[in-house]
Structure 1
Amino acid sequence: MIIATPPKDESERLKSLQNYKILDSLPEEDYDAIAKIASSICNTPIALISLIDKDRQWFKANHGLDARETPRDFAFCAHSILEPDELFIINDATKDDRFFDNPLTTGDPNVIFYAGAPLNTEDGYPLGTLCVIDNEPKTLNEEQKEALKLLANQVVNLLELRKKNRELENVNKEVSNLNEQLNNFAYRLTHDLKSPINGVNFLVEVLKTDHAALFIDEEAKNYLNLIADRMGYMSNLVDDILHYTKVNNENIVYSKFNIQETIESIITNIDHENLVSCSYNLVKTSIISSKIGLMQVFQNLISNSIKFTDKENVELSIELTKDNEYYTFVYCDNGPGIPKAYRDKVFNMFETLSNEKNNNTGIGLTTVKSIIERLGGTYSLEDPADNAEGICFQFKVLIKDITA
């Protein structure tokens, strides 16, 4: 018996094998199926997916064989990985100087015929073979050889997919950890900043109501009002940051709901001065999407329309269309509009057209953008039709099949 010498790049090859985290893993149907197909095509009783470890060959799939591993010194596959660019075929091991007295030939499982297709990774390392075995001399025709190579490629594809899935799981865990840290930061920010902000707001109100006589000077009154205004802005900023953090980390839940009823309930809850009138086009229907997500989108849009209106009444129009993939909404108001030069910027964090009015923090549209993107959609700002005043916000979100 001749023992195969390790490849020249054995150290790197073993590192590559270890990176797949496949050794000693549980049986998997996909690998077992490939071994069974190889056995059927090549008409052999045994087919193995064999991986060559430092001191052993280990079988990820072992069709027709009970053993899960053998010593590397006995492994036919240890010879096969020395010729990674071609099939390694032994038609009759009893007549081959390397294998005639091999314990796997002279004893169980009585390997007489062997054909191994190399499992070559993307970085060029042979991890082992997809091999077929018989206990009598045999030859393979060209179609069987080609099929064995193609099946070996599928094994490598499964290994690569496994590796990428594991890497994705690690990334997801890291993202989850970062999101948890961000949530903790946001709540800590709320606790640590809101308390002193509320305290300052309370003191300002006490000075304005109970000690107004102290502020005879008009300039002093203006300074006091400025402090109150800036503290209001800081309070809104903290709330909006917390809301943005929550929106980006909560799970998306899809359900069927009536979108017009949802929008009307939003208007009822935030239109305290009865400024808003809204017309609908094809909106009175039930859709399947994230109810909470779309509620947050329309609540931000309607709040902005009310907050920044330059009219006595806020006139809204909302249109819904649907195709095979998306719901498309067009939301228009009769406000002052947004100049084209600023239409991309207003979706960036803290970007505003003005911080002087209504303590706008520049986070509302960033939140809207984030929700729409999480729902698989896109958005844009457009001019209203017929040169009307205002702005139209068009966005689409993916249609989900919750029955799948």
Structure 2
Amino acid sequence: MQYVKPTSLLTKNESHRLEKLRDYHILDTHSEDTFDKIALMVTQVFSCPSAFISFIDEDRIFIKSNLSPLAFNEAKREESLSSLVILQDDVVVFNDTHTIPHVRENPYVSGENGVRFFAAVPLKTPEGYNVGTISVIDTHPREVTPLQINMLKMLAKIVVDKLENRLRYRKTIESQIDLMNITLHEIKNPLASIKLANEIISKDGTKIPNMAEMIKSSVGRIKSKLSDLLKQSELEENQIVLFIEEIDLKELFMRLQSNFDLLAARKGQSIIFDLPESTSQFFADKAKISDILHNLLSNAIKYSYHGAEIKVIATEINGHIRIEVKDNGQGLDESDIERLFTKFAKLSSKPTGKETSNGLGLSITKSFVELHNGTIEAVSPGKDQGTSFIVTLPLRYEKEHSLSEFSS
């Protein structure tokens, strides 16, 4: 079949292809023995002097392995023959480049000792994106055998497998770090409660029974979080398990009140819980729902002024439970809302009582809400006009354990 000049060097899925390429973190890295050995095998299979493992970026070619006299590791995309290869689904072979008009015009072909023989196969990801090539060249025309072609395809799969293994390992590490960050974030509130209870006991011994119960509850919450971390670390990467059970929302609100009354009172704040009698039970992961409300209420206390009023309002709408955490604090501007649920987001609002913030809470909260097929949104009229965080969750969720992806 005669080779036809393509009308464009861009692939049909160019943006997704580039996204996957960047996920590999392979661009602009040093040469590695593993890839160089694969390139060496290509030269031996074809009995050719030069072979390359290349990755096609937006407007350039990055050469990861360069077994040739050429002393560079980058080329313009429009000048590279590899740019033609990623447009194909199979091996591209030019037995003699001078017999193909538009290829003959290529600067690497037309120059002195230019490329006369060229064979390459795309590096195809599991999603079907061609992110690069393995290629072999010679300055003399050549013929290829089916065995050589099959070997080239096999070596290309080995390269992609290597990239995928590295990607999975990196994501596993990132997932473990995320889990540790979540756990560290989640034990901050019970630690603050323990610290505050200790201060009260040291000043007023009559409060020991009440404070002892609070300390016991906070320690239990910390132990639970550490246990969750150990369990999640045993799961496959990026997965969190939901333990679905019937939740009594009234009981959950009472626990929230018990946990946060002291922290709010320290800033002269009041927390009002509004729960209609008709809204009492729904099915979800109790620990995760508790985490969601802990994060939202903790933020409301943290970013509201002294003497502020905070409301937690639950209503039932069209088979869903809607929980609103509303404060009359610092509010949010449009820029804040745009980056509100991203990891380590830095917002214009600042804690009003010298509390610390690592920018993880809302990102974690959003992940837990979405695991329940729910939604979360923030509404604010503007700066210093308060904020409402609204969580909407289905009343019923599958009762058996379910695995879902976790994203930051």
TM-score normalised by L of structure 2: 0.49
- When Rg is computed on C-alpha atoms for both structures, the one with the higher figure is 1
